[in-house]
């Protein structure tokens, strides 16, 4: 078993073993490098589960009199619009992708955006657009996922 804290050079030289230890034994490894903040290696799903519990996403959906659907994502102050729910959702997903990219580039320095760090991290951990969609509109764990989109039922 690897020590919990490793100097960068040691971690680099034994990266395969360190990685395997994290995955097989569900451990956490802290890699330390001079003049840099320590970096943590841990299983993605463990971090994703923690962030999902402590930083849930909340959305609101409205339909205007002319039938346009809007879906508001509270944590990022973003919304998507479309002629129907799937269209509004795709627009919202585009907005989320653009926001995360802008946050990474510059917004993380702004006080009114820095506090959104952990919601951004959730999106960064996602393995593709479908996983982001599931984060925004999760199916409760005790219910099976329906064959059709969860949003299709709301549209009716």
Distance, in Å, from the CA atom of 143 to the CA atom of 138, rounded to the nearest integer, reads 10
Give the pLDDT of residue 3: 72
Ranges of H-type helices in 82-116: 85-105, 111-114
Domains 5-42 and 56-138 equal at CATH topology level:
no
Give the pLDDT of residue 2: 60
| pTM of the full structure | 0.80
Give the pLDDT of residue 50: 92
Q: Is 3.40.1160.10 the CATH number for 56-138?
A: no
Give the pLDDT of residue 31: 93
- Those residues of the chain that have pLDDT short of 50 are 149, 155-156
* CATH number of the 5-42 domain: 3.40.1620.10
Give the pLDDT of residue 156: 44
Q: What are the extents of the domains in the chain? A: 5-42, 56-138
Sign of CA dihedral 37, 50, 74, 96: positive
Give the pLDDT of residue 124: 96
Give the pLDDT of residue 146: 55
Give the pLDDT of residue 16: 92
């Amino acid at each position: 078993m690897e020590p919990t804290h490793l100097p960068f050079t040691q971690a680099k030289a034994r990266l395969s073993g360190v990685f395997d230890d994290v995955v097989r034994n569900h451990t956490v490894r802290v890699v330390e490098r001079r003049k840099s903040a320590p970096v943590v290696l841990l299983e993605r799903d463990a971090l994703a589960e923690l962030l999902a519990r402590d930083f849930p996403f909340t959305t609101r959906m409205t339909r205007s009199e002319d039938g346009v659907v809007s879906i508001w994502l509270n944590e990022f102050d973003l919304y998507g619009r479309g002629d129907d729910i799937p269209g509004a959702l795709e627009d919202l997903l585009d907005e989320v992708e653009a926001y995360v990219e802008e946050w990474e580039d510059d917004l993380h320095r702004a006080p009114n955006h820095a506090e959104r760090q952990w919601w951004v991290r959730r999106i960064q951990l996602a393995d593709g657009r479908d996983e982001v969609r599931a984060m925004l509109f999760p199916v409760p764990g005790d219910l099976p996922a329906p064959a059709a989109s969860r949003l299709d039922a709301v549209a009716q």
